[in-house]
Amino acid sequence: MPKPSSKLPKQPTNAVKSEPKTYTFFEDVWAVTRQIPKGRVTTYGAIANYLGTKLSARMVGWAMNAAHTAKPKIPAQRVVNRNGMLTGKMHFKTPTLMQELLEKDGVAVENDTVVEFKKLFWDPALALAI
DNA sequence: CAGATGACTTGTG
DNA sequence: GCACAAGCCATCT
């Protein structure tokens, strides 16, 4: 059906160099997500907190949605909700892909939840030391 | 321009 | 401990 485009979150014609008002947020989230060590996981709240918008953890989720369109692959599988549950798995190409990737990283996943999530939790604020 | 949605989090009942 | 509601901000309709 004729839906030309505009499915992505605003194609950045001018990118972030012109008016970095919103895309900065996405890039920040992606940057943090990429810095997540292998075998570790973090939460939307932690990233949001690091960015200073802990009250808007939802926006982090939106950034992950945009991560699909990001050039380099974003290890969004390492980002889970506060319960350690793979809430965003359904947004992957396949619902099981997220778990597969996590297990490949060495993270045990059971019942769509990261096992010993507390132990594997990685806080960007601590790693990046602000 | 206004209303609705969302890969969340926290608080109260 | 579980269920419902409010808050947050950007994007979509």
- The answer to whether the beta carbon of residue A49 comes closer than 7 angstroms to any atom of strand B is no
Fold type of domain A21-121? Arc Repressor Mutant, subunit A (1.10.10)
Bases on strand C under 7 Å from any protein CB: 7-13
Q: Which of residues 1-40 of A touch strand C (CB under 7 A)?
A: 6, 8-10, 22-23, 25-26
Cα torsion through A119, A124, A127, A130, rounded to 10: -150
pLDDT at residue A12 above 50?
no
Q: What digits encode the pLDDT tens for the residues A49-103?
A: 888 888 888 899 989 988 887 778 899 999 999 999 999 998 998 999 999 999 9
- Rounded to whole angstroms, the distance from the CA of residue A6 to the C1' of nucleotide B1 is 20
Cα torsion through A63, A65, A66, A71, rounded to 10: 110
- Residue-level pLDDT at A102: 94
Closest C1' nucleotide to A10's CA: C11
Task: Give the list of residues 6+ apart from residue A118 with CB closer than 8 angstroms, or none.
Answer: A84
Domain assignments of chain A as residue spans, ordered by start: 21-121
Q: Which of residues 88-127 of A touch strand C (CB under 7 A)?
A: none
Q: What digits encode the pLDDT tens for the residues A17-43?
A: 334 445 678 888 999 999 999 999 999
Q: DSSP strand E in chain A: where?
A: 42-43, 79-80, 109-110, 113-114
DSSP state letters, A77-102: GGEE-TTSB-GGGGGSSSTTHHHHHH
- The answer to whether the beta carbon of residue A84 comes closer than 7 angstroms to any atom of strand B is no
